[in-house]
Homo-oligomer: A and B are copies of this chain.
Amino acid sequence: MNIPDTQPKNLHGRNSQLVDQEEKRRDLGFGTKLNDTYSRLINRDGSFNLVRRNGSFWDQLNLYNRLITMSWAKFLVLVLLFYCVSNGLFACLYLLVGAENLQSSAEQMFYGPFWKAFFFSSQTLTTVGYGHIAPVSFLASIVAAFESMLGLLSFALVTGLLYGRFSRPSAYIKFSRRAIFSPYLDVNGWMFRIINARSNQLIDVQVEVTMSRLETRADGSRHRRYYNLKLERSKVVFFPTNWTLVHPITNESPLHGCTPDDLAESDTEFLILLQAMDDTFSQVVHRRYSYRYDEVLWGQKFRPMFDGGQRGMVELDLEKLDDTEEAFLN
């Protein structure tokens, strides 16, 4: 036990109003101390605006996560690179052991010992094993036996990674580039629009919007506060077409009476959380997005994205997602 002598050794509990207040404060997990106005909380790709220092190497690397989430181009280049480098290293190993230990049944080998070893290595790593080059000494055989096992392991890994990449749940929700302040029924509304960019079905789509802004306390210090924005409709069962999410600006809205300058001055950011169920794999998927005060248009409305279609089918034009036109605010 570790008790400084200067401390009382008895915990005096009291009823505390400060505790009650603190328990009621809304906090998404960012805390109140992120109060500079130069950076946003959530980047447009859904990641957080934060640098991590001094993590352990493996935790920082987070290999599997990175291999699963990187782009396909990057992934395939990496696989190819891994293949070439492995073959190069093993070729050197075979040369070290002695290239003459790789017996070749054919005499017309018109490339040097390195490439012979390199190609033998590639035939071993992929387990293709033509056999027109074959290991004949003890050491070369040992290396080849180890390499073929390593090859199988590597490609077992790649199989797993490919499956992981493909089967990763992912909602390809596209958000309109701008949120808008638009007339809505007999009031105004803050709106944005989303579509499902993929053809797989999403069901039970839920959206939650939190507004974050800096507020000045009585003592002049600035703290970040969070408000839930009530949506006209925050959940749909199906999501086959586009969906315009609307926060009606009534008396209760924290946006009530705001001007564009207010939003800028208080570094307002609209944080969006979307949750849906991917129908193909019955997987729950999440998306984060954020609109900053300078990504909001005033006095615009969205143009419709679909029309009746000719063949008795409704046609949804995905390119019209960002189309807005001027509209007078109420």
Contacts and interface: CB of A to CB of B under 8 A. Distances in A.
A234 to B, nearest CB: 10
B257 A53 contact: no
B124 A128 contact: yes
Nearest to A132: B134
Given A129-B130, A153-B158, A298 B12 contact: no
Contact of A138 (B110, B136, B169): B110
Interface string A17-35: 0110011000111110010
A316 to B, nearest CB: 5
B282 A250 contact: no
A176 interface: no
Nearest to A178: B2
A82 to B, nearest CB: 10
A97 interface: no
A329 B157 contact: no
Given A12-B330, A237-B273, A240-B30, A313 B51 contact: yes
A317 B61 CA distance: 16
Nearest to A167: B164
B299 A23 contact: no
A242 to B, nearest CB: 9
Nearest to A283: B282
Interface string A228-267: 0000110011111101000011111101111111001000
A221 interface: no
Nearest to A160: B163
A186 interface: yes
Nearest to A233: B27
Q: Which of A36, A152, A241, A253 has the most CB of B within 10 A?
A: A152
B156 A138 contact: no
Nearest to A315: B51
Interface in A179-208: 181, 184-188, 197-201, 203, 205
Contact of A48 (B39, B137, B138, B238): B238
A245 B164 CA distance: 34
Interface in A292-330: 293-294, 296-299, 308-309, 311-319, 326, 328-330
Interface string A135-162: 1111001001100110111011111111
A214 interface: no
Contacts of A232: 19, 22-23
